[in-house]
Amino acid sequence: MRDGHRAEAERLLVRAVEEEVRRSDGRTDGRLLLSRARAALDAMAGAAGEEYAAYTRALDEAEAGRLTFGQRYARAGAGTALLVAAVAAVAAAVADLSLGTGAGPAVGAG
């Protein structure tokens, strides 16, 4: 198992054992139960090795195909977005000027 997956599984085991000890009002030996749970986890991981390998390959492929925000923005064409923003600013300034706003505030708001 990958370290992160193993650590998460260990945390879940500890929580489950703590809950079982709590529910049994301390009659259950937590250390013994945790050691058995870890042994069972190792056995399950060994038996599911092929499936886990397929799962991690799928995770790696999905991560490789994922684009960051910057990559998507560059691919979409940043020039188009900047052109639209500039046209909107000019249109807002012209609208403010036509409604009688002074040139300074119209340009500042646009």
Same domain, 53 and 77: no
Same domain, 10 and 61: yes
**Domain span at residue 54?**
3-65
56/66: higher pLDDT: 56
- Determine the average pLDDT of the residues in 91-105: 82
Q: How confident is the model at residue 110 (pLDDT cuts 50, 70, 90)?
A: low
Cα torsion at 31, 36, 40, 41 (round to 10°)? 10
CB atoms within 10 A of CB 9: 16
CA distance 4 to 52: 14
Same domain, 26 and 52: yes
- Determine the average pLDDT of the residues in 39-45: 92
Same domain, 76 and 99: yes
**Token pair in block for residue 2:** 């990958």
Same domain, 45 and 82: no
When divided into structural domains, the chain yields a total of: 2
Same domain, 10 and 41: yes
